[in-house]
Amino acid sequence: MKNTVKVLIIICLGISSFYGCKKDKATPDTTIPTISITKPTASQAFLPGDTIIFQASFSDNAQLLNYTIAITTSVADGWSYTKASTNFTAGVKQQDITLKDIIIPININGKPIAAGKYSMKVTCNDASNNMAETTLEINIGSVTKKRIAFLQEPGMLSPQLGLQNALKDKGYTVDTLYAPFDLTISAYAPFDFTVLAGYDLVIISRTVSSSEFKDSVAWNALNVPVIVLSSWCARNTRLRLFNTTSVVPTADGTVVATTLVTKALPIQNTGGSGYDTVFHNVTTGGNAFPYVKWFYDFIDYYKADFVAESTGKLLAVFADDATAGAGAVIMARWEPNTTTFKGSGIHANYRTYMNMGADDDIGTSAKNFDSYTDASLTLFLNEVAFVTKKH
């Protein structure tokens, strides 16, 4: 009898253990993650050249794994974008994502991208391979070609054709203009500001003579963005962008190695909050980048000078390892309806200075007008896009 009781007890314990183990078995995770998109908004309108800011919050009951983004359209000659599978921070249940690098191109293979409705699809996977997806529609409109007046002295040898061609490749209409030569005064006539006002941007090239740009009052009144590539034209005796009369001339180009590359250093935004968006695809993290090839000249005006008296935004200076002009300003921008420095006069629209090109005026008088690197060309095109979009 005792043995029978023992057997029954053992059987009961075994059954209890068996069913107890079944109860302890983990329940599969079938809960899908959630996606909450705050930017862009449904039906938000964009134009070619715009940046789509993406902001979203992802969450899961257990653990997030990765996400993807795809922008597509059924419109012919449309644009598409894909952000490949990107992992979240390991082990997290919730994470906010912000992206500022989704840029709508102006054209693809020389053709403007098609306007129309585009679909943005966002997917999210958790660690158990549960997938969520959400889709919203955005609109990309067409943009009228921006017209640029590229001021270039007639008959100038080695003009800045590289810059002009790069602008045309980006879809801009570029007209090379200059004031007519007046034989009665043996000089160029004043510029026709009514004509210039009909453009979306005026670029004063490095190939001009600065003596033609003394009428700062008339230039200030021009309600069109102006990009000045000549240091000589930026002086306070000319267009009055900088409160200095001094430009350091270039060395004789024949004694400067053609392989010389001089770097630029981006300047952090006021308050240390990153760098201007114009440096997109140029450099990151404040690193110096190749700016100019061969010889160059520069405005004798430095970061400390700019901070002390300029009202604009300092964007870049020559890097510390420059063979000449380390720390000199090579790029700055001023907002509309402001002065560049006290007493300079108020300019009606954006003004940008960007050191680009040189003429040694010595011996063989070498020209180095298309002196840009890939990085500085991108910087130039970014600035053109910025000021023409704002205009």
For the stretch 134-179, pLDDT in tens is: 999 999 987 677 899 999 988 777 789 999 999 998 889 999 988 7
Q: What CATH superfamily is the domain 34-140? A: Immunoglobulins (2.60.40.10)
State the average pLDDT for the chain: 89
**Domain residue spans in the chain?**
34-140, 147-390
Residues 6+ apart with CB under 8 A from 205: 150, 151, 152, 159, 160, 163, 229, 230, 357, 369
> Looking at residues 176-199, what average pLDDT do you find?
83
Place of tokens 């964007």: 315
d(CA 315, CA 354) in angstroms, rounded, equals 9
What the block records as the tokens of 256 is: 């400067």
Pair 71, 51: CB distance under 8 Å: no
CATH code of the domain made up of 147-390: 3.40.50.880
Residue 77: predicted pLDDT? 84
Question: Percentage helix, strand, coil, to 5, in the chain?
Answer: 20, 35, 45
Please give the C-alpha separations between residue 355 and each of 5, 138, 149, 263, in angstroms, as whole numbers. Answer: 100, 38, 18, 12
Q: What percent of the chain stands above pLDDT 90? A: 69
- Hey, what are 114's tokens? 């098609």
Q: What's the pLDDT score for residue 171?
A: 82
Across the range 322-344, mean pLDDT stands at 95
Residue 117 DSSP SS3: strand
Output the pLDDT for position 332: 98
Would you state the pLDDT for residue 158?
Answer: 76
Half-sphere exposure of 74 toward its Cβ, with a 13 Å CA cutoff? 1
* Choice between 365 and 296, residue whose per-residue pLDDT is larger: 296
Q: Which of 12-26, 227-241, 346-360 has the lowest mean pLDDT?
A: 12-26
Put simply, whether the predicted model's pTM sits higher than 0.75 gets the answer: no
The single residue listed with the structure tokens 């180095």 is 368
Q: How many CB atoms lie within 10 A of CB 8?
A: 10
Q: What percent of the chain has pLDDT above 70? A: 91
**Is there a contact between 374 and 367 (Cβ–Cβ < 8 Å)?**
no
Neighbour count for residue 305 (Cβ, 10 Å): 19
Locate all alpha helices (DSSP H) within 87-192, ordered by sequence.
Answer: 161-169
Amino acid letter for position 341: F
Output the CA–CA distances (angstroms, integers) from residue 110 to 75, 113, 142, 372, 383, in the order listed: 17, 9, 15, 22, 20
Is it the case that residue 8 has pLDDT exceeding 70? no
